[in-house]
Chains A and B, each alone.
Chain A
Amino acid sequence: MHMEDLGELESEVMEVVWSRGKVFVKDVHEELSRKRTLATTTISTVLDRLYRKGFVGRELVKEGGLRYLYYAIVSKEEFQRAKLKRIASTILDSLEDPAIASILGDNNIKEIRERLRRLASPNSNGS
């Protein structure tokens, strides 16, 4: 599955979701408001966007007023692995540039390419 990258605030919200497991909008707002001023509506917009991107799931809770309980669908490890793969593919692409190849030398390029390929392959676990 292609995993999109996250924006700054999206990452911060995901960190809270990953650390707490299941959260309401108010929980995330409470946590992030310690560091910066944010409206609850901003948090709900971000969580909704993360839901549409497939990073979080949600269930509707009816007790105590209608609201969503959000939980992570993508684990932190999965996300970091995908990010690492993306970076590896970007570097791999840039190695095609003859200028970079001339600086690094043929043997080094071969080794780097091999390592990055392993990292970027779909079966790689990132180690």
Chain B
Amino acid sequence: MLPLTPMEVRLLRLGEAILLSLALSLLSLVFKRAWKVGPVLGAAPMLGYMLGYANFLFEVWKRLGRIPLHFLVEPVTLFVLSLGIFVMMRAVYVWVKGESYVEPDPWLQKLFQEAMEQVGVKARLRIVDRGDPVVYARASVIPNVVISVGSLECLGSDELRAVFLHELSHIRLGHMGLKLLYYCTLVLGFLNPLQVKLYRRALREMEREADQLAAELTNGNTLASALTKLAESLNY
């Protein structure tokens, strides 16, 4: 039997990495309490494979003094690279295009300040010039809580406080960094169909955690009412 070519060996390693990734994902899905590490476990074999591939290219370069072009035409590397470039270009586009923001009312700023003190985190309130109801926390040097004018129109002050507490809870629980990490695992584990399941479950659990913390700090019914109102528009 002829010995395997270096590229055939790489493809064999890729197959192994996918199988291991599937097995670990399945295991993480069975153990529901492992939701936090699930996406990382699922993507780890793929990361291992990519590092192995990088090492392989390095060895080739050391031996030949160059990397033959056909060694670079490898599906996983090409996909991850092109997706990385796409994400970067999208980030630049969003940054350049930007959304316009409105100066918050003093009473709203005060409400937000009180919520920050209650949760024990520092963040910046940004009012986005949009008519539909949108509220989210955004990672930044100082994390932002972004709320649209449309949300302000539809929520009462108690509901607004509850929503602020929910978003600030995300910041307090470190969900911003986790979201970024899970997003990377989604890219790395694109050949594993269970990776999306793990990612979605992690997002759901993070929402549940933030709800729980916010409900401890405010009236649970107010929080439920606010979140129901915000979710209602998604049905349309």
Binding site for B on A (CB under 8 A): 9, 24-26, 39-42, 44-49, 51, 58, 60, 62, 65-68
Contact = CB atoms under 8 A, between A and B. Distances in A.
Given A42-B232, A45-B132, A46-B236, A66 B154 contact: no
Give the secondary structure class of B's interface. Answer: helix
Give the secondary structure class of A's interface. Answer: helix
B152 A45 contact: no
Contact of A68 (B104, B131, B230): B131
Contact of A39 (B104, B151, B233): B233
Interface string B152-177: 11100000000000000000000000
A25 B153 CA distance: 7
A45 B233 contact: yes
A66 B232 contact: no
25 contacts: A9-B236, A24-B153, A25-B150, A25-B153, A25-B154, A26-B153, A41-B133, A41-B150, A41-B151, A41-B154, A41-B230, A42-B233, A44-B133, A45-B150, A45-B236, A46-B236, A51-B131, A58-B131, A60-B129, A60-B149, A65-B108, A65-B152, A66-B127, A68-B149, A68-B150
A100 B157 CA distance: 62
Contacts of B131: 44-45, 47-48, 51, 58, 68
Nearest to B131: A48
Interface residues of B, number: 22
Contacts of B197: none
Contacts of A9: 236
A44 B229 contact: no
Contacts of A49: 132
Given A39-B232, A65-B105, A48 B153 contact: no
Contact of A40 (B104, B127, B129, B154): B154
Contacts of A41: 133, 150-151, 154, 229-230, 232-233
Contacts of B235: 42
A40 B132 CA distance: 10
A40 B229 contact: yes
Contacts of A67: 149, 152-153
B102 interface: yes
Contacts of A25: 150, 153-154
Interface string B208-230: 00000000000000000000011
A68 B102 CA distance: 12
